[in-house]
Amino acid sequence: MDFGSIDWEHTRELAITYAMTYGLNLIFAIAIFMIGKRLAKVVVNVAKRMMGKANVDNTLSMFAGNILYGLAMAFIVIASLSQLGVDTTSLAAVLAAAGLAIGLALQGSLSNFASGVLIILFRPFKLGDFVEVAGVSGSVRDISIFTSSLATPDNKLVIVPNGQITTDNITNFTANETRRIDLVIGVGYDDDLKKVKETLGKIVAENELLLKDPEPVIALNELGDSSVNFVVRPWVKTADYWPARFNMMETIKATFDKEGISIPFPQRDLHIIDGNIEAVTKPAKKTAAKSSKKTA
């Protein structure tokens, strides 16, 4: 190459022109990226503080902050490339198409994510609550964006997708401070109903786990096929529900045996007619001894 034929003056001026044009664009692009990145962090931190003051769950605030930061950085990168003269229209179209494809591929996961956000925002249950969701009962161990973990009474860990939780009924057994125990107690038709009611009232009154307010309900509810059924509905603190229920059942059986009050059970009599056996179900007798004599 004949370097002597090069117009060095023109080349120098051209280089200076390109340097000034593209160099300034490069400086502006870097400035946009650096300043935008810092502004994105500031905005995300402000958003997190606002969500913290609004008592938004920490898991949700962290996740929302990451999403916000990612969107802001995507916008900043596109703005920086645009400053360099890169055509970002096609890039934006590619990102939109990719986002649509990813969204279609992750429909189930996105549904679980949306449900997780709703659970964290509206708090139908919290850690430690005993709930029944999606056909599973247990204590809530963890609530994440996509799933919730329950510990069953027999100590199994069940992980339930959040989408199944929000599309089904949610029963929170520990949401309130008090619960009502619903018992149905059957007695024989030969028993003194007044005595039965007084005995049940005494059992309820002497149980220290039961609350006096609201007042317990003890009433004759049904004349059944084999028994006269009373309902016993005392109130207890939620934490005392199962101990109080177990104690009530044991005390009722022991007291009824002591007071001579029968607890009927279905029985079947056999009638032999011309060599054919006919089974007839009748109401239970008051005592097992009477039933044995009749059968004999």
Asked whether residue 101 falls in the same domain as residue 18, the answer is yes
- CATH code: domain of residue 76: 1.10.287.1260
Nearest CA among 153, 125, 148, 120 for reference residue 138: 153
Q: Does residue 117 lie within any of the structural domains?
A: no
Q: Does residue 2 lie within any of the structural domains?
A: no
Average pLDDT over residues 273-296: 48
- CATH code: domain of residue 231: 3.30.70.100
Q: Does residue 275 lie within any of the structural domains?
A: no
Of 105, 137, 162, which residue sits at a domain end?
105
Average pLDDT over residues 267-272: 67
Q: Which two tokens stand for residue 64?
A: 């929302």
Instruction: Give per-residue pLDDT as tens, 127-149.
Output: 899 999 999 999 999 888 788 99
Asked whether residue 187 falls in the same domain as residue 234, the answer is yes
Asked whether residue 187 falls in the same domain as residue 156, the answer is no
Asked whether residue 160 falls in the same domain as residue 192, the answer is no
Q: Does residue 274 lie within any of the structural domains?
A: no
Instruction: Give per-residue pLDDT as tens, 205-252.
Output: 999 999 999 999 999 999 988 899 999 999 999 999 999 999 999 999
CA dist., res. 148 & res. 132, Å (int) = 12
Q: Which residues of 29-65 are buried (b: 16+ CB within 10 A; e: fewer)?
A: beebbeebbeebeeebeeebeebeeeeebeebbebbb
CA dist., res. 148 & res. 57, Å (int) = 14
pLDDT given at position 18: 58
- CATH code: domain of residue 163: 2.30.30.60
Asked whether residue 64 falls in the same domain as residue 21, the answer is yes
Of 71, 105, 139, which residue sits at a domain end?
105
Q: Does residue 281 lie within any of the structural domains?
A: no
Asked whether residue 78 falls in the same domain as residue 134, the answer is no
CA dist., res. 228 & res. 183, Å (int) = 13
Asked whether residue 227 falls in the same domain as residue 250, the answer is yes
Provide the number of structural domains found in the chain: 3
Asked whether residue 30 falls in the same domain as residue 72, the answer is yes
pLDDT given at position 290: 37
pLDDT at 287 over 50: no
Residues 282 and 269: beta-carbon distance below 8 Å: yes
Asked whether residue 153 falls in the same domain as residue 189, the answer is no
CA dist., res. 284 & res. 229, Å (int) = 13
Range of the structural domain that residue 228 is part of: 179-259
Q: Does residue 218 lie within any of the structural domains?
A: yes
Q: Does residue 209 lie within any of the structural domains?
A: yes
Instruction: Give per-residue pLDDT as tens, 52-104.
Output: 777 766 666 776 777 788 888 888 888 887 777 766 666 666 666 666 665 55
Asked whether residue 250 falls in the same domain as residue 186, the answer is yes
Q: Does residue 273 lie within any of the structural domains?
A: no
The secondary structure of the chain, three-state, reads CCHHHCCHHHHHHHHHHHHHHHHHHHHHHHHHHHHHHHHHHHHHHHHHHHHHHCCCCHHHHHHHHHHHHHHHHHHHHHHHHHHCCCCHHHHHHHHHHHHHHHHHHCHHHHHHHHHHHHHHHHCCCCCCCEEEECCEEEEEEEECCCEEEEECCCCCEEEEEHHHHHCCCEEECCCCCEEECCEEEEECCCCCHHHHHHHHHHHHHHCCCEECCCCCEEEEEEECCCCEEEEEECEEEHHHHHHHHHHHHHHHHHHHHHHCCCCCCCEEEEEEECCEEEEEEECCCCCHHHHHHHHC
In this prediction, residue 118 has a pLDDT band, given cuts at 50, 70 and 90, of confident
Q: Which residues of 179-214 are buried (b: 16+ CB within 10 A; e: fewer)?
A: bebebebbbbbebeeeebbebbeebbeebebbbeee
Asked whether residue 128 falls in the same domain as residue 84, the answer is no
CA dist., res. 197 & res. 205, Å (int) = 12
